[in-house]
Homo-oligomer: A and B are copies of this chain.
Amino acid sequence: MAKEMIVNPYDVQGDVDYARLGKEFGIKPLDEKLLKRIEKIAGEVHPYLRRGIFFAHRDLEKFLDDYENGKKVFLYTGCGPSGPIHLGHYTIWSFTKWLQDKFGIELWFQFTDDEKFLYKNKTFEEIQGWTKENMLDVIAIGFDPKKTHFLVDTQHAGIMYPEAVKVSKKITFSTIKASFGFNDSNNIGSIFYTAMQTVPIFLPSVLSGEKQRCLIPLAVDQDPHFRISRDVVEKLGHYKPSIIHSKFMSPLTGVDSKGSSSNPDKMVLMTDNAKTIKKKINKHAFSGGKETVEEHREKGGDVNSDVSCQWLRYFEEDDEKLAEIYEKYSKGELLSGEIKAMLIEKLTKALGDHNKRRAGAEKLIDKFVYKN
């Protein structure tokens, strides 16, 4: 029997059926009309949009309406600092950077250090260490320091907690139980926490006195937080956030689950060097190829289950080239090892560039952290 599908910020289990998930969550597919509107603004359509990696949304039309009408809008995304950053984070933030560049708008970036402390078996100090480490990776993405504001929950509690209190009054524990699968043995900080994640939706409006709509790029498991938030913030006089949802980047071990930094062998970390990247891909990347070279040449490989093929969707920007690779792999003209080599090359380049930027990131932290 198939394992039951569970998708929430604290638990992802089973084979994720995105069509079913979309229906259950009540989110809409990203259609051609929306992609055209984005193209008109951005001058291009990001590969992740063309390829259905970002596949769904809530109220994206309203965000685009406001933008087109010259109203101030902003981006909001974040990071839970409890371990090293991996490619799953990197790809969502790269897309977020593209949005910032193309739309020319502000990004509020939340580091949920309280959340990670409350949910993980780590000390407060360990989480603070990861917060700083993760900041370096976020800065290395290349966000505009003049238009990007870091919020760290425990460092910005002075402005965030009073707003979180207003949010929390409108959410019962019943709602939290239903959304996150909690029970009475959860700690009371973790129960309160979703109120803190709601605040950046409207904090820029409160701080500036100008009501602004935001767009949240996120991995779909984060949607339950904002499903709760959307009703609440409207009751508080703010705009519901617009959301654009990405599928999970699969771990190296297979396309049927979610990447995570808890097992570093299953994911490529941003700090992995060329040697480690090569080793991880060659050793762990699940192959869609056949048992023997002869059989593979004859019957061809399976693009959909081959993790390297799937990961190339994130790193090979040229649509024609990707299609050609897929065709040749399906026909057995390309071997799994050859696909792996292509992926290794792409990743080595991308992560090499990232780590060059990361090396100069520490001195920029101060420019990014929002001044209370």
Interface residues of A (CB under 8 A from B): 114, 117-118, 124, 154, 157-158, 160-162, 164-174, 176-177, 183-192, 194-195, 372
**Pair B166/A188 contact, Cβ less than 8 Å:** no
Q: Which residues of B contact A171 (CB under 8 A)?
A: 187-188
Q: Which residues of B contact A189 (CB under 8 A)?
A: 164-165, 167-169, 192, 195
User: What is the minimal beta-carbon distance from A247 to any residue of chain B, in angstroms?
Assistant: 30
Knowing A154-B161, A162-B157, say if A184 contacts B188 (CB, 8 Å): no
- Copies of this chain, whole number: 2
Q: List 9 A-B contacts (CB under 8 A).
A: A117-B165, A157-B160, A158-B372, A168-B192, A171-B187, A172-B186, A172-B188, A173-B188, A192-B192
Knowing A186-B172, A188-B194, A189-B192, say if A124 contacts B161 (CB, 8 Å): no
Q: Which residues of B contact A176 (CB under 8 A)?
A: 188
Q: In the bound complex, what is the Cα–Cα distance between A190 and B170 (angstroms)?
A: 11
**Pair B161/A185 contact, Cβ less than 8 Å:** no
Q: Which partner residue on chain B sits nearest A185 by CB separation?
A: B172
Q: In the bound complex, what is the Cα–Cα distance between A157 and B166 (angstroms)?
A: 14
Knowing A176-B188, A191-B192, A195-B188, say if A161 contacts B170 (CB, 8 Å): no
Which of A117, A166, A189 has the most chain B CB atoms inside 10 A of its CB? A189
Q: In the bound complex, what is the Cα–Cα distance between A119 and B296 (angstroms)?
A: 67
Q: In the bound complex, what is the Cα–Cα distance between A16 and B166 (angstroms)?
A: 34
User: What is the minimal beta-carbon distance from A275 to any residue of chain B, in angstroms?
Assistant: 39
Q: Which partner residue on chain B sits nearest A164 by CB separation?
A: B189
